[in-house]
């Protein structure tokens, strides 16, 4: 029987990005909230995802800069990568943010329940025999690394991103299985740290969800960096060798390496948690929801990697906030998933918001789609940084009932991840090229490349060659 003290307005199962964002917003709105977490608040993003990988990528950038410093007239010698030192730096960043997050949980007077929860009834979560009743329940149990049939991740020579973040050495060589965001980020780190890297990707391009032009630019840059990749070729098996692993592929090519990093995606954490028994419908493990993240059961919501939307921390934040506001009766707007900014933080970075050219053509008809690519070679700050890449705009023209707005922004180059903030304003505020052309961009910044691209698309090119 539920005790009176264990009844809450909102009971949240899982304290990752989606769960804690929901808890914070709900608490702000005056609701009393229980947040149930079996490990650490912050979830994958803080402890095994966004933050530690970006710390590794920053250390990788420092290594690259040291290696290339003479080209800037600064003489340094890269003496090697002290992996315990890198890990100390990375873990320090995570620990600081973790402490901050725990402080916020306390400050917002959220009841934090440590332990593994199961949905024991549509409005109840049981943790260590204790029942927590929610007028609303939010499922936010996240995701875990996936593998392929017959491919056993042993944590030693065949590893997932979770293991990769704990490596105490730089491997001599790595095969990265999967050329999506996580695979490309780790490939980039390992190459900067001095490993031989080969990516094996089943689809015809790296970062296959991005605009094809971005994929091609990243592939060109990786080729220049000596990162090998085998695209359009599937994994068929792996054997252990004396020194590591031998990876076999459908096209008959084998790749030897010290380690195989499996980065073929992540699957929802929903098995054995009582969801189906409580009437919550799932599809291949993902909880099915409507645009307000409501499940098939009244007053039960689901957010984050557990539902089949983009697996990104900021999507989890947005969905968590949406749910809290919906529960509080605020009538929030559903998330426009096309308007979510996406960044791959490799060297170079890939960033985008809105539709790819292919999707825009599908949606509006190819005859209504115009594109413009602005080469970073014409951008002073990019030249100073010695980075190459492009800003590509996708605009629609002459669509009935629509302004001739920019529906896609795709960027490749060092630091373009920071430009995605402006890109998402352009997309989400339905801006036309002329709207953006009015804005002055500081010189010399990489942001100017966005401004110049819009000037050119508006018929007022500045630093552009014919």
Nearer to ligand FAD, 13 or 411 (CB): 13
- For position 354 contacting ligand FAD by CB under 6 A, the verdict is no
Shortest Å distance, C-beta 303 to ligand FAD: 6
- For position 179 contacting ligand FAD by CB under 6 A, the verdict is no
Shortest Å distance, C-beta 42 to ligand FAD: 7
Nearest to 411 by CA among 361, 353, 340, 465: 353
Query: 344: part of which helix (H) or strand (E)?
Result: strand 342-344
Burial of 333 (0-12, 13-18, 19+ CB in 10 A): exposed
Cα–Cα distance for residue pair 422/174, rounded to 1 Å: 36
Nearer to ligand FAD, 131 or 434 (CB): 131
- For position 55 contacting ligand FAD by CB under 6 A, the verdict is no
- For position 14 contacting ligand FAD by CB under 6 A, the verdict is yes
- For position 16 contacting ligand FAD by CB under 6 A, the verdict is yes
Instruction: Tell me which DSSP letter residue 333 carries.
Output: P
Nearer to ligand FAD, 317 or 374 (CB): 317
Cα–Cα distance for residue pair 428/354, rounded to 1 Å: 8
- For position 15 contacting ligand FAD by CB under 6 A, the verdict is yes
For ligand FAD, how many residues bind (rule: CB under 6 A)? 36
Cα–Cα distance for residue pair 343/436, rounded to 1 Å: 22
- For position 447 contacting ligand FAD by CB under 6 A, the verdict is no
Cα–Cα distance for residue pair 130/115, rounded to 1 Å: 10
Spot the catalytic one: 326, 368, 443, 463: 443
Residue 443 annotated among the catalytic residues of the structure: yes
Shortest Å distance, C-beta 304 to ligand FAD: 2
Q: Which residues inside 255-274 make contact with ligand FAD, applying CB under 6 A? A: 269, 273
Q: Which residues inside 150-169 make contact with ligand FAD, applying CB under 6 A? A: 161
Among the candidate windows 96-104, 298-306, 359-367, 394-402, which touches ligand FAD by CB under 6 A?
Answer: 298-306
Q: Which of 11, 19, 201, 348 binds ligand FAD (CB under 6 A)?
A: 19
Q: Which of 6, 44, 215, 352 binds ligand FAD (CB under 6 A)?
A: 44
Nearer to ligand FAD, 12 or 195 (CB): 12
Rg (CA), the chain: 24
Whether the ω angle into residue 348 lies within 30 degrees of 0, i.e. cis, is: yes
Query: 396: part of which helix (H) or strand (E)?
Result: strand 390-396
Shortest Å distance, C-beta 43 to ligand FAD: 3
Assign 3-class secondary structure to 233-281: CCEEEEEECCCCEEEEECCCCEEEECEEEECCCEEECCCCCCCCCCCCC
Shortest Å distance, C-beta 54 to ligand FAD: 6
- For position 207 contacting ligand FAD by CB under 6 A, the verdict is no
CA of residue 262 relative to chain centroid, distance: 17
Instruction: Give CB contacts under 8 A, 24+ apart, made by 434-443.
Output: 434/458, 436/406, 443/380
* Main-chain phi, psi angles of 11, to 5 degrees: -110, 125
Q: Which residues contact ligand FAD by CB under 6 A?
A: 13-19, 36-39, 43-45, 48-50, 53, 116-117, 140-143, 161, 182, 269, 273, 304-306, 311-314, 316
């Amino acid at each position: 029987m539920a005790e009176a003290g264990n009844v809450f307005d909102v009971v949240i199962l899982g304290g990752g990005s989606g769960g804690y964002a929901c808890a914070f917003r709900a608490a702000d709105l005056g609701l009393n909230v229980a947040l149930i977490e079996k490990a650490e608040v912050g979830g994958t993003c803080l402890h095994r995802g966004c933050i530690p990988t970006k710390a590794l990528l920053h250390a990788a950038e420092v290594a690259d800069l040291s290696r290339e410093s003479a080209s800037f007239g600064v003489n340094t010698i890269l003496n090697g990568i002290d992996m315990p030192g890198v890990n100390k730096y990375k873990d320090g960043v995570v620990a600081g943010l973790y402490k901050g997050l725990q402080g916020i949980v306390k400050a917002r007077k959220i009841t934090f329940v440590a332990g593994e929860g199961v949905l024991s009834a549509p409005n109840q979560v049981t943790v260590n025999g204790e029942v927590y009743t929610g007028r609303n329940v939010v499922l936010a149990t996240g995701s875990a690394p996936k593998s392929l049939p017959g491919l056993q991740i042993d944590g030693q020579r065949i590893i997932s991103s979770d293991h990769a973040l704990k490596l105490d050495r730089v491997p001599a060589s790595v095969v990265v299985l999967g050329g999506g965001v996580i695979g490309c980020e780790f490939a980039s780190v390992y190459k900067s740290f001095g490993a031989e890297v080969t990516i094996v990707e089943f689809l015809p391009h790296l970062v296959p969800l991005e605009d094809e032009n971005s994929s091609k630019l990243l592939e060109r840059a990786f080729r220049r960096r000596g990162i090998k990749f085998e695209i359009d070729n599937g994994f068929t098996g792996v054997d252990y060798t004396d020194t590591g692993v031998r990876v076999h592929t459908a096209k008959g090519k084998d790749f030897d390496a010290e380690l195989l990093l499996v980065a073929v995606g992540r699957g929802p954490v929903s098995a054995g948690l009582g969801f189906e028994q409580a009437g919550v419908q799932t599809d291949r493990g993902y909880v099915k929801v409507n645009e307000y993240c409501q499940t098939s059961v009244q007053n039960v919501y689901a957010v984050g990697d557990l539902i089949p939307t983009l697996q990104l921390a900021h999507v989890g934040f947005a969905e968590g906030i949406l749910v809290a506001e919906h529960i509080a009766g605020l009538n929030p707007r559903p998330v426009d998933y096309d308007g979510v900014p996406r960044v791959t933080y490799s060297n170079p970075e890939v960033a985008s918001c809105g539709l790819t050219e292919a999707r825009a053509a599908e949606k509006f008809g190819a005859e209504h789609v115009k594109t413009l690519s602005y080469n970073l070679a014409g951008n002073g700050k990019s030249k100073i940084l010695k980075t190459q890449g492009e800003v590509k705009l996708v605009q629609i023209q002459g669509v009935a009932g629509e302004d001739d707005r920019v529906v896609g922004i795709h960027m490749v180059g060092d630091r373009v991840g920071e430009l995605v903030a402006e890109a998402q304003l352009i997309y989400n505020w339905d801006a036309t090229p002329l709207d953006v052309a009015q804005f002055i961009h500081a010189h010399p910044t990489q942001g100017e490349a966005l401004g110049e691209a819009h000037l050119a698309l508006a018929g007022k090119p500045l630093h552009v060659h014919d």
